Chain A
Amino acid sequence: MIEIESVEKVFNQGKANEVKALEKTDIIIKDSEFLVVVGANGSGKSTLLNAISGSILPSKGAIFINGENVTSLPEYKRSRWIARVFQNPLSGTAPDLSILDNFRLASLRTAYKGLSIGINNSFKKKVQDKIAVLGMGLENKINQPMGTLSGGQRQALTLLMSIMDDLKILLLDEPTAALDPRSVDLVMKTADHLIKQYNLTALLVTHNLKDALQYGNRIIMMAEGKVIKDMAEADKTGLKISEMYDWFV
């Protein structure tokens, strides 16, 4: 469970370019909830996700994960629960490292990265089996640098990397914004499948209203740093795309 209590975020406080990215916000996201976040550019969606992941610290308020106060916990410590997929496929993987090395690091997300060699044959096999699920033939290319893959392939692998280690919360910030329609479909289906299979609590930021309708069991809409709409599963199921368009005008 993620509890966001009266969280505010102001960038460049007191300066001429001060921005209130998040107004006093309260949200409770229950276990295995798949929350879709929509809203115009600059409405504070990424700021909300970044506050949960710890890559930014709130100006005011508190954040709890599974009852633990994590408000001032740095990002690398919150990785105990949280994995992320970023808008930019380059951010979620290390391009110069091999696919295998990337997966090795991901398998140690919650663990200490020590002075022993962890890549052995059984680890390779485990990675190959995981990757084979995508049906892209990447399981035969695990020694290739990550940078040689397409954006869609990298996003799909980033998703699989997240479940290499114990995971509770998955944060997806426009994971398909840079992809072609076929890759979008593959990445979204993979994400949805993993969220269900591993009972993850997930947040998905998207500008694609079709995806916003198709996936998730709760939806919120943000505008100017505030949550202005919040629909549980029952209402979300009946939602039509035309209604959602009206939210934006």
Chain B
Amino acid sequence: MDFYLTALLQGLCLSVIAIGIYISMKIFNIPDITTDGSYTLGGVVTGIMLSHQLPISLIISLVILAGAGAGTLTGLIHTKLKINPLLSGILVMTALYSINLTLLGRSNLPLLNLKNLFTSIVLFTDPNQNTLWIVLLFIILIAFVIGYVLQTDFGIAMRATGNSETMIRSLGVNTDRMKIIGLAISNSLVALSGFLMSQFQGFVDINMGIGIVIVGLGSVIIGETLINWLKITSVWLTIILVILGSIIFQLVLAFTLSMGIDANLLKLVTAAFVLIIVSLPRISLSKAS
């Protein structure tokens, strides 16, 4: 498959994480580290169920539930035991590593010859084109659902939770409950991304989630930079730009690798890239002032 098409598809698959991180940042003000574990969890559940030839609709439901469970756990640890959100996420992520390994029974599971989302629905005869359109439709559906939810009264309350907790509590919102629900939604999205990615790359790996939170964060920051730059307030455009952020992120990585950088350095390149986009606005700001 074409190098850049692969990057585009990866960007689309990972954009679901970006939307999830966008939500967890709205309620916590920091990205939720559970992401690393729930992404792999989504992949693991998908892998096991695909190898048992279970229907795709059932797999999707279970992946969503598994992700929601992981998020709820982080939410409960943070709100009920008053543990710092960063630490709560790290705890659940660490525990999920063992759970994923136990579920999978080994560290890597190939899925290549199994019937999956991309082979069970045929819209185009060309497999690459087919995959692209299925992923696109999937993302549009998710963007539509989340975009709608964020504009409802519930969604406004959720967006306000991390923004002004004092205000939102005085307006009658149970912020603990809101954080738990928000993290459940966020992590089910992340798990869905694991669902897509494991089928796209054709295997599940126990380490596939390492550092994925950074990829999501980087995508959101690219998206938010565009949002601030274009002074966007519409929820629909915001979601689209977050998705675009994820695609840009993967294209830049692909471009870097195409220049001959060792694939082992991928995580280093990723971290450096996120560092650059996080610090760029600050550097240009301090120069201006």
Contacts and interface: CB of A to CB of B under 8 A. Distances in A.
A154 B225 CA distance: 25
Given A94-B168, A101-B156, A116-B152, 13 more contacts: A75-B169, A76-B172, A90-B164, A91-B164, A97-B163, A105-B153, A105-B160, A109-B172, A111-B172, A113-B154, A113-B156, A113-B157, A114-B152
B149 interface: yes
B38 interface: no
Interface in A23-63: 53, 55
Contacts, number: 94
Interface of B: 148-149, 151-154, 156-157, 159-160, 163-164, 166-175, 233
Contact of B157 (A95, A105, A110, A143): A105
Specify the main secondary structure of chain A where it touches its partner.
loop
A91 B164 CA distance: 6
Nearest to B152: A115
A75 B163 CA distance: 18
Contacts of B152: 114-118
Contacts of A91: 164, 166-167
Interface string A82-101: 11101000111111111001
Given A98-B233, A113-B156, A114-B154, A108 B168 contact: no
Nearest to A85: B170
A69 B61 CA distance: 44
B2 to A, nearest CB: 39
Nearest to B149: A115
A20 interface: no
Contacts of A145: 233
B160 A94 contact: yes
B166 A86 contact: yes
A76 B156 contact: no
Contacts of A212: none
Given A104-B156, A114-B153, A115-B152, A79 B171 contact: yes
Contacts of B174: 74, 76
A142 B105 CA distance: 55
A210 interface: no
A77 interface: yes
Specify the main secondary structure of chain B where it touches its partner.
helix
Nearest to A83: B170
Contact of A115 (B154, B159, B172): B154
A110 B172 contact: yes
11 contacts: A79-B170, A79-B171, A92-B164, A94-B168, A101-B156, A105-B157, A105-B160, A108-B172, A111-B172, A113-B153, A113-B154
Nearest to B177: A76
A116 B153 contact: yes
A48 B148 CA distance: 41
The interface centre, meaning the residue of B169, B170, B173 with most chain A CB atoms within 10 A of its CB, is B170
B173 A113 contact: yes
B170 A53 contact: yes
Contacts of A115: 149, 152-154
A7 interface: no
A203 interface: no
Nearest to A147: B163
Given A101-B156, A117-B151, A143-B233, A94 B170 contact: no
B181 to A, nearest CB: 11
A93 B167 contact: yes
Contact of A92 (B148, B153, B167): B167
A124 interface: no
B169 A118 contact: no
Contacts of B163: 94-97
A73 B282 CA distance: 43
A106 interface: yes
B175 to A, nearest CB: 7
Nearest to B157: A113
A226 interface: no
Contact of A76 (B153, B164, B173, B233): B173
A77 B166 CA distance: 14
Contacts of B166: 55, 86, 91-92
A80 interface: yes
Given A76-B175, A91-B164, A115-B149, A84 B156 contact: no
The interface centre, meaning the residue of A75, A76, A79, A114 with most chain B CB atoms within 10 A of its CB, is A76
Contacts of B168: 94, 105
A118 B153 contact: yes
Interface string A102-137: 101110111101111111000000000000000000
B153 A97 contact: no
A84 B170 contact: yes
A97 B147 CA distance: 15
